[in-house]
Amino acid sequence: MTDTSRTESGWRRFWNRGGWWKAALVAGVYLGLYLGTGWLIGTLFGSQIDKKDILATVQSVFFGIALAIIVGSVLLIVFGASLGWLRELFGRQPIRGRGWMWIAPAIVLVAAVLRILGTDYSRYNVGVLVMVYVTGLFVGFAEELLTRGFAVDLLRRGGYSERVVMLLSSLIFALLHATNVLSGQPIMTVAVTMAFTFVFGVAMYLTLRVTGSLIWPMLLHAVTDPSTILASGGVDSATTTVSPLAGLAGISTYIYLAITIVAIFAVRGRVRPRELQPVAPLPA
C-alpha cells in the first residue's frame, strides 16, 4: 500500500513540474499508441476498410478512422485521471482572453458552416454522414484534449509565457500530422497540412483563451474535420469539384495565417507554474 502511494505520488510529481519536453513526450507516446492501434485494427479488420474510398461504407469509416481515435480518447482520459487533472483541464481557464481573440472562433465557425452548406451530400449515404460526424466528435475531443489540454497545461506548468505556450502547443499539433506521410501521402500534401494545422492550432488556442473552456475548441474542431472531409471527399485530400461555398471557406486559411501573425505580437501574459493562476488581472 505504501509503495503504491509513493509510486502514484512520484508519477504525479513528475508531470506536475511540466516542461516543453514533457508536452512533446505525451504527444509522442499518444501518437505511437494511436498508430499502433491503427495498425492492429488494420490487421484485424482490414477487410472492412475500403482503401480506395474510405468514405464508401459505414464500416470503412468506423474501422478506418473512428476506432483508433476512440481508443486514443479513452487513453487520454485514463492518463488525465491518473494525474487528477481532468477537473482542471475541463474547468475554467486560469488566464483571460481579450476581445480581439473572438475573431478566431468566429472564422472557424463560419468556414465550417460554408463547407457544410457547400457539400454534395448525394455522394454519401446517411449512415456514412452520421459516422463521419460521430468520428469528428472524437477527433475534436482527443486532439484538443492532447494539445490545448495536456500540452498547454504542461507548458504553463513549465513556466513559459502564453506566447510560447501558444506557439509550442500549435507546433506539437502540426507535427502530429507529419505521420500522414506514412499513409503514402505526397510530402508536399503533408507539408501543406502541417502548415494549416499550425495556424489552425493558433486559432484553437485563441478560442481556448477567449471562451475560457476547453469544450469550445473541442466542439469547433469536431465540426471542422467532418465538414472538411465531406466537402473534399477524403481525409486530408482535395477534390476537383469544390462548390463555390466550400471554395469560399478555403479563404479561412489565409485569415488563420493573418491571425497567427497578429497573435505572435499581441498574446501576452503568463500563468504561474503549479498554481496555474494569472500573473496579471488583464493579460492581453
Residue 193 domain-assigned (yes or no) = yes
- Residue 231 falls inside a structural domain: yes
Residues 6+ apart with CB under 8 A from 56: 50, 128
Amino acid at 17: R
- Amino acid in position 129: L
Whether residue 242 is contained in a domain is answered as yes
Give dist(CA 171, CA 152) in Å, integer.
Answer: 11
pLDDT at 86: 96
CA dihedral 90, 96, 101, 104 (to 10 degrees): -10
Q: Domain for residue 8, yes or no?
A: no
- Identify the CA nearest to 224 among candidates 244, 191, 258, 199: 199
Domain assignment of residue 7, yes or no: no
Q: Answer whether residue 61 is part of any domain.
A: yes
Distance in angstroms (rounded) separating the CA atoms of residues 120 and 104: 27
Q: pLDDT value at position 107?
A: 98
Please check whether residue 211 is in contact with residue 97, taking contact to mean a CB–CB distance below 8 angstroms: yes
Name, in order, each residue with C-beta under 8 angstroms of 255's C-beta and a sequence gap of 6 or more.
Answer: 107
DSSP assigned state of 272: P
How many domains does the chain divide into?
Answer: 1
Residue 107 structural domain: 16-275
pLDDT of the residue at 276 = 57
Query: What pLDDT was estimated at residue 237?
Result: 55
Whole-angstrom Cα distance, residue 47 to residue 120? 27
Residues of the chain with pLDDT under 50: 1-2, 4-5, 277-284
pTM strictly above 0.95: no
Backbone angles phi, psi at 86, to 5 degrees: -60, -45
The b-or-e profile of 73-82 (16+ CB within 10 A means b, else e) is: bebbeebbee
User: Under DSSP, is residue 271 helix (H, G, I), strand (E, B) or coil?
Assistant: strand
Is residue 137 within 8 Å of 220, Cβ to Cβ? no
Q: Is residue 255 part of a domain?
A: yes
Measured CA to CA, the distance from residue 226 to residue 39 in angstroms comes to: 22
What the block records as the C-alpha cell of 248 is: 469560399
In this prediction, residue 4 carries a pLDDT of 46
* 6 domain residue, yes or no: no
In tens, the pLDDT along 160-203 reads 999 999 999 999 999 999 998 888 889 998 999 999 999 999 99
